[in-house]
């Protein structure tokens, strides 16, 4: 009798939790793994996992109309999961239906900036809107300045974006650099060893170094960095008494800029590259 009572209490408690939305589990389709709620919210709204977790705990997330407040809840990935994110200041709700991520590779031309909009310059988003791969939730992974060309990844996965751009993950970014003056062996040695640059945000000096630097010609080099400081490569060469006249990013992590991708055009990442990119920052 006591065993039956315990079973009844557990059943009642589980039903209450389900009604409250505090422990909202959706059983996955057989053979298809479920997904943690905080990961799904992160992917759906382009947030980092920590921000998604915080919003869930604050009760600002609705799943299929029900409040959910347990970040570790397992959600079926085969169903159309309707998500709402509530703005605590205005009460407005951002609504979406969860699906897998979008990842788009863009070949950035000169003269446009990495921004959503601008009164002065054309933006990368305006270019992307002209392609069949544009989605409103796509966000650029890092920035390329006005005159820099080449590889710019867009993703809807906030956690992937965070890791690819955070210095702790040491993601390599490779560039082709053309300088105004010949690059000497002393310059190469100095840039490999590292030079001090002022961080515009903190005002502190930080060491900026090339993790790899190979000569292509007298005034052209291939340079790899694992940091992402403001105008880092241009400022590094400035410390050597020369100016960068052309800068092109050709790879980031396992992603290489395709030779046949024209400036201003985009292409979705294939499954192998998506898997390799996630694995490069331990998101597997």
The 8 Å CB, 24+ separation contacts for 123-126 are 124/152
- CB-based contact 188:215 (threshold 8 Å): yes
* Over residues 22-39, mean pLDDT: 56
C-alpha–C-alpha distance, residues 213 and 221, integer Å: 7
CA 264 to chain CA mean position, Å: 20
Which tokens go with 58? Answer: 């604050």
H or E element that contains 255: strand 255-256
* Over residues 113-123, mean pLDDT: 89
C-alpha–C-alpha distance, residues 127 and 90, integer Å: 32
* pTM of the shown model: 0.69
H or E element that contains 276: helix 271-280
3-state secondary structure of 184: coil
User: Mean pLDDT score of the chain, rounded to an integer?
Assistant: 85
The 10s digit of each residue's pLDDT in 165-206 is 998 999 999 999 999 999 999 999 999 999 999 988 888 999
Which residues are tagged catalytic?
Answer: 145
- pLDDT of 228 reads 86
First to last CA, the chain: 46
Strand partners, 223: 175, 213
C-alpha–C-alpha distance, residues 102 and 273, integer Å: 13
* 215: Cβ contacts below 8 Å, ≥ 6 apart: 183, 188, 221
β-pairing verdict for 148-155 and 103-108 = antiparallel
pLDDT band, very low/low/confident/very high, at 21 (cuts 50, 70, 90): very low
Of the listed ranges 15-29, 178-192, 222-236, the least confidently predicted one is 15-29
Which tokens go with 159? Answer: 């956690």
- CB-based contact 114:143 (threshold 8 Å): yes
Burial label, 156 (beta-carbon count in 10 A; 0-12, 13-18, 19+) = buried
C-alpha–C-alpha distance, residues 212 and 171, integer Å: 13
């Amino acid at each position: 009798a006591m065993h039956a009572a315990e079973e009844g209490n557990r059943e009642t408690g589980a039903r209450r939790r389900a009604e409250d939305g505090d422990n909202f589990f959706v059983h996955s389709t057989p053979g298809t793994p479920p997904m943690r709620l905080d990961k799904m919210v992160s992917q759906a709204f382009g947030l980092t996992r920590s921000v998604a977790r915080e919003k869930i705990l604050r009760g600002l997330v609705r799943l299929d109309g029900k409040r959910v407040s347990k970040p570790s809840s397992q959600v079926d990935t085969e169903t159309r999961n309707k998500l709402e994110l509530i703005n605590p200041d205005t009460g407005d709700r951002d609504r979406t239906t969860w699906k897998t991520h979008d990842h788009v590779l863009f070949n950035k031309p000169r003269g446009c900036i990495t921004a959503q909009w601008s009164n002065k310059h054309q933006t990368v988003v305006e270019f992307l809107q002209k392609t069949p791969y544009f989605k409103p939730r796509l966000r650029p992974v890092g920035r390329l300045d006005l005159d820099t060309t080449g590889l710019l990844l867009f993703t809807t996965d906030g956690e992937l974006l965070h890791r690819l751009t955070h210095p702790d993950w040491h993601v390599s970014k490779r560039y082709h650099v053309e300088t105004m003056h010949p690059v000497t062996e002393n310059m190469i040695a100095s840039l490999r060893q590292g030079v001090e640059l002022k961080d515009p945000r903190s005002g502190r000096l930080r060491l900026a170094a090339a993790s790899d630097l190979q000569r292509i010609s007298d005034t052209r080099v291939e340079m790899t960095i694992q940091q992402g400081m403001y105008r880092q490569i241009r400022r590094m060469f400035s410390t050597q008494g020369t100016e960068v006249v052309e800068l092109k990013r050709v790879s980031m992590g396992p992603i290489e800029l395709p030779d046949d991708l024209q400036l201003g055009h985009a292409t979705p990442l294939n499954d192998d590259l998506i898997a390799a990119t996630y694995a490069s920052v331990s998101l597997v």
